[in-house]
Amino acid sequence: MKVLVINCGSSSLKYQLIDSESENVLAKGLCERIGIDGRLTHKPTGKDKVEIEAPMPDHTAAVSLVLQHLTDPVCGVISSLSEIGAVGHRVVHGGEKFAASTLLTDEVLEQIEKCNELAPLHNPANLIGIDACKKLMPGVPQVGVFDTAFHQTMPKKAFLYGLPIEYYEKYAVRRYGFHGTSHSYVSKRAAEILGKKPEDLKVIVCHLGNGASVCAVKNGKSVDTSMGLTPLEGLIMGTRSGDLDPAILEFVAGKTGMSLSEVLTVLNKKSGVLGMSGVSSDFRDLDAAVKEGNQKAKDALDTYYYRVAKYIGAYVAAMNGVDVICFTAGAGENDAHLRKSICEYLGYLGVEIDDEKNACRGEERVITTDDSKVKVMIVPTNEELAIARDTVALV
């Protein structure tokens, strides 16, 4: 079956068409500036890339353009839309209602809408994408795959905050965690590569991209993760602060005259390694700045590495041990210096990095020495493939 995977943001839409039997990507691409002017980048496998400026007043227009390109005689990869057997959608927040992927019936869509207030930047956009696909591909099954679902196995002690309990009971304020599709895929793939069953392993997955989170996966199940009610908690990220003393919000608002919501925008968009260094949110730029002697960039990276190492330590405690630590996502997969710097804190676990094995980018491999007590691995994430697999399983 051919599965169209859709990841819809407020002004962008990423897509992949995947053949579920071979698991090959037939085409992938990106619509940007939806509602502004519109730009499409379409990459059909084995054919030339197409980049066009085209009006995209809304998401329906964007999906329509994607479908036209997928079926185009020159840059297309299928002869008609009837070849698309199902559509898998990334949905950011499933609240406590969704512990697994699900077919998107009208009733399910209503329930997702109720989660909108938990992810006001993401969920409404996801729903618009689903609506557009339903309109343009009536009768084709649509599946929702939730970023939060994998973490629904967390025990209460891991997901409750130290707040008056009625905030949880009345308003569902708790840790949900995100990147679940990636943590699930990477932990299972690591077990597969090692020839072990996920049920027999304690794995810590470090998903270090623009957004970043760590997850403790015990016997195949998420038992704790660093993001919380929203994706702001936990690690220092590209532009997000991660953990901080909540009293800082009022203090900074008082000093700067900003409103609470303006301070939150700073925490989400102008903090992290970008805010700390004043250079960039991209680790490649920061590495270059450090080489040129930029002290703030060095401090930002040192603080970033240290925070990741502290979370790893916390999750070793949460699981009473660890067998495998995995690095994934943009920086985790590609930045050898970052992996090495984080693992330098893990000598007490018996982690020994093999520099030759670590000197690589984006390859599935073990990067510790044969004697290392804990294995450290690079496992490139593939959220689209995971979404396609779940979609096929449900239809």
The phi and psi torsions of 251 (rounded to 5 degrees) equal -60, -50
Please, what is the minimum distance in Å from the beta carbon of residue 123 to ligand ADP?
Answer: 17
Of 318 and 388, the one with the shorter C-beta distance to ligand ADP is 388
Of 197 and 284, the one with the shorter C-beta distance to ligand ADP is 284
DSSP, residue by residue, 93-130: --TTT-SS-EE--HHHHHHHHHTGGGSTTTHHHHHHHH
Of 161 and 306, the one with the shorter C-beta distance to ligand ADP is 306
Please, what is the minimum distance in Å from the beta carbon of residue 284 to ligand ADP?
Answer: 5
Q: How many other CB atoms are found less than 10 A from the CB of residue 266?
A: 17
Task: Answer yes or no: 147 catalytic.
Answer: yes
Of 20 and 334, the one with the shorter C-beta distance to ligand ADP is 334
Closest CA to 218 of 191, 252, 257: 191
The SS3 assignment for 8 reads: strand
Of 333 and 390, the one with the shorter C-beta distance to ligand ADP is 333
The phi and psi torsions of 160 (rounded to 5 degrees) equal -80, 145
Please, what is the minimum distance in Å from the beta carbon of residue 72 to ligand ADP?
Answer: 27
Of 123 and 328, the one with the shorter C-beta distance to ligand ADP is 328
Counting other chains too, the contacts that 47-50 makes at CB distance below 8 Å and 24 or more residues apart are 47/74, 47/75, 47/77, 48/75, 50/75
- Please give the residue ranges that form the binding site for ligand ADP (CB under 6 A): 209-211, 238, 281-284, 329-331, 334-335, 361
Give me 245's structure tokens. Answer: 């003393």
Please, what is the minimum distance in Å from the beta carbon of residue 283 to ligand ADP?
Answer: 4
Of 211 and 228, the one with the shorter C-beta distance to ligand ADP is 211
Residues listed for the chain: 395
Among all residues, whose Cβ is closest to ligand ADP? Answer: 330
Q: Which stretches of the chain are DSSP H helices?
A: 59-70, 106-114, 123-136, 156-159, 165-171, 180-194, 247-256, 260-269, 272-277, 283-291, 295-319, 329-334, 336-343, 355-358, 383-394
DSSP, residue by residue, 312-340: HHHHHHHHT--SEEEEEHHHHHH-HHHHH
- Which of 131, 147, 243, 245 is an active site residue? 147
Q: At residue 278, what is the residue type?
A: G
Give me 38's structure tokens. Answer: 């519109």
Please, what is the minimum distance in Å from the beta carbon of residue 130 to ligand ADP?
Answer: 20
Q: How many other CB atoms are found less than 10 A from the CB of residue 51?
A: 11
Please, what is the minimum distance in Å from the beta carbon of residue 288 to ligand ADP?
Answer: 10
The rounded distance, in Å, linking the Cα atoms of 220 and 216 is 10
Q: How many other CB atoms are found less than 10 A from the CB of residue 181?
A: 24
The phi and psi torsions of 242 (rounded to 5 degrees) equal 70, -160
Under 8 Å between Cβ of 210 and 231: no
Of 60 and 382, the one with the shorter C-beta distance to ligand ADP is 382
Measured over the CA atoms of residue 6, residue 100, residue 155 and residue 314, the dihedral's sign is negative
Please, what is the minimum distance in Å from the beta carbon of residue 336 to ligand ADP?
Answer: 8
Closest CA to 207 of 82, 338, 299: 338
Please, what is the minimum distance in Å from the beta carbon of residue 309 to ligand ADP?
Answer: 18
Residues acting as catalytic residues: 147
